[in-house]
Structure 1
Amino acid sequence: MSITTARLAAMIDHTNLRPDATKQDFVRLCEEARRYRFAMVAINPYPVAQCAELLRGTGVHVGAAIGFPLGQVTIEDKVSETRNAIAHGADEIDYVINITELKAGNLSYIEREMQAIVDVAGSSAVTTKVIFENCYLTDAEKRSVAEVAVRVRPDFVKTSTGFGSGGATLADVQLMKECVGDVVQVKAAGGIRTLDAALSFIAAGATRIGTSRGLDLIAQLEARSGL
């Protein structure tokens, strides 16, 4: 597929979720995001305030990972973490579902959790993304969470944390897009290192790409375009 560097950059969530990331790493992340006009920087909650200050007025969003990467905290904990991230300047929230409750067939819990976070984020006009962590789910479970998302209406459903046993796959993006249609957007994330992989996910319906290799993707596109 054909895409401009500006359009690709606007679909990239420029990511640094490393536990050993330094404050200077976040300065660099924000400088890169500002230079290339990436959609947002995806970070853990602690550096949100630093990145929000660095990106103030640039149009680049700050995204906080909530209940990350396992999703194994209570709804109340995720809501509290969401509120705190927003208070410190987060524009977007990427939270991990409770896989234990999903495996128990407790879809009412999955829906309550999703609704609680969407309500908190939505009251501040903050974007919400629901991370399935598909590597641990059956296709039936993926469909079940997607059906909940269609009812609750988060902004995005997302494939992976990048910390699980597997990342984004084309089959999963296709399945998620088939389930949510145009009601909810799809974010592909986890192990996306090449331009061809990113373009295949976009062609399958993803409108956001989460990756720590955003600079590489742009460089590959520029080289291919002869820029």
Structure 2
Amino acid sequence: MSSTPTPTPPADLDRAAVAQMVDHTLLKPEATHADVEALVAEARRLGVYSICVSPSMLPVDAAPVLVATVCGFPSGKHHSEVKAAEAARSVVDGADEVDMVIDIGSAKAGRWEAVQRDIATVRAAVPAPKVLKVIIESAALTDEEVVAACRAAEAAGADFVKTSTGFHPAGGATVHAVALMAATVGGRLGVKASGGIRTGAAARALIEAGATRLGLSGTAAVLDGLAGSGGPDDTPAAAGY
């Protein structure tokens, strides 16, 4: 695993602390380089941890904000060697973090050795101190499958497990999934909640459930809403960041 420290949930959940848990995300297929430039400017203004963009948008100068990208996105139905090549190219192009998608079909079939090998192949292409996050598409899995996917990610050397691509029709992050993932990895890995997080209340509830990173596209609105109360229920979030 990477030596990069995993952020811990801020005790007071103030705006600045939560911003430092955010991957400010733009993964729309129609995104342009001008859109990415605007994303970087907003990321700097908001004080987020990183931006997350498609690999074809790299390289990106976002300093002091870190740069994350995706791999095998959004379906995960790519050969492991193709995922690894994509991830390796992203590292060469300056990505600090790579969010890979597992083969959800292998997970649903209980082929956990194949899932672990897939992750390990990408891990080898994303050497420490680069960070590897593993998207398990939690809304498409049973609780037992969520646990097994998290265990496979840990065994393969991942740094984070992540709920969702934000593009699957089953939905995005839920409090229940995040709590289950956090309990499974026990602080040894980070937990990234992503997909359908649109309010400060939702972000707050997910952090309290164990999320140590948030994938957001409407970051400003979420941060502005942190003073609100309450949180999301456990219905799947709408698809999309």
- Alpha-carbon RMSD across the aligned residues, in angstroms, is 1.3
TM-score, length basis structure 1 = 0.91
The Cα shift of 1:116 comes to: 1.6
Partner of 1:177: 182
The Cα shift of 1:148 comes to: 1.4
Instruction: Tell me if the contact between 1:5 and 1:218 (Cα under 8 Å) persists in the aligned partners.
Output: yes
Aligned residues: 217
Show structure 1 runs of 5+ residues with no match.
none
Show structure 2 runs of 5+ residues with no match.
1-10, 229-241
Partner of 1:154: 158
Q: Return the match for 1:143 from 139, 142, 147.
A: 147
Partner of 2:212: 207
Once the two structures are superposed, residues 103-125 of structure 1 have per-residue CA deviations (whole angstroms, 9 ceiling, x without a partner) of 222111111111121222124x2
Inter-partner Cα distance in structure 2 for 1:183 and 1:152: 13
The residue correspondences of 1:16-55 to structure 2 (distance < 5 A) are: 16-49=26-59, 51=60, 53=61, 55=62
Partner of 1:2: 12
Inter-partner Cα distance in structure 2 for 1:41 and 1:199: 20
Inter-partner Cα distance in structure 2 for 1:200 and 1:135: 17
TM-score, length basis structure 2 = 0.86
- Identity level (%): 39
The residue correspondences of 1:26-175 to structure 2 (distance < 5 A) are: 26-49=36-59, 51=60, 53=61, 55=62, 58-123=63-128, 125-165=129-169, 166-175=171-180
Instruction: Tell me if the contact between 1:149 and 1:180 (Cα under 8 Å) persists in the aligned partners.
Output: no
The Cα shift of 1:5 comes to: 1.6
Inter-partner Cα distance in structure 2 for 1:4 and 1:136: 32
Partner of 1:189: 194
Once the two structures are superposed, residues 134-189 of structure 1 have per-residue CA deviations (whole angstroms, 9 ceiling, x without a partner) of 12111111111111123233111000000012000000001101111011110000
The Cα shift of 1:99 comes to: 1.1
> Which 4+ stretches in 1 moved above 6 angstroms?
none
Inter-partner Cα distance in structure 2 for 1:104 and 1:72: 14
